[in-house]
Structure 1
Amino acid sequence: MGLLDRLFGDDHQRAATKYEGRESATDRAARQRRQSHRRTGAQRAAQQGQAWEDRDRKRRGTSFWTW
């Protein structure tokens, strides 16, 4: 046991008591990354759907304002 351990205590013990029930920084970063990927995928799908709709209207000679 080193001098710093005697002064500040065991990090594992402190983490187990002080931060109990809190989300770790690693878990939080992973969750945010997953949410970002989902959000990006949904936006991309919506844009592709809108582009398809616009192409279809243009092909049929109609637009949103003329129906």
Structure 2
Amino acid sequence: MKIKLLFSVLLLVLYLPLLAQPHALVGTWIKGNPQRGIKETKIISPTQVGCMGMDTKRDTMIYTGFGTS
């Protein structure tokens, strides 16, 4: 019984990476608006997403948001 359970868990662990789909949208983007003095940065990885906005005139952060995808 323990052998079957161990084999099943091992098979599941080895099979899970095959189910993961590759992400076509991965990278870092920086978008600026000089008239308003705003710079936005977006970061997307296979497991995490994040964005932040900065006021370049006052050199302060406006917003941030990070999480899992």
Q: What range is the shorter-chain TM-score in?
A: 0.3 to 0.5
TM value normalised by structure 2: 0.34
TM value normalised by structure 1: 0.34
Bigger radius of gyration among the two: 1
The answer to which structure has the higher strand fraction is: 2
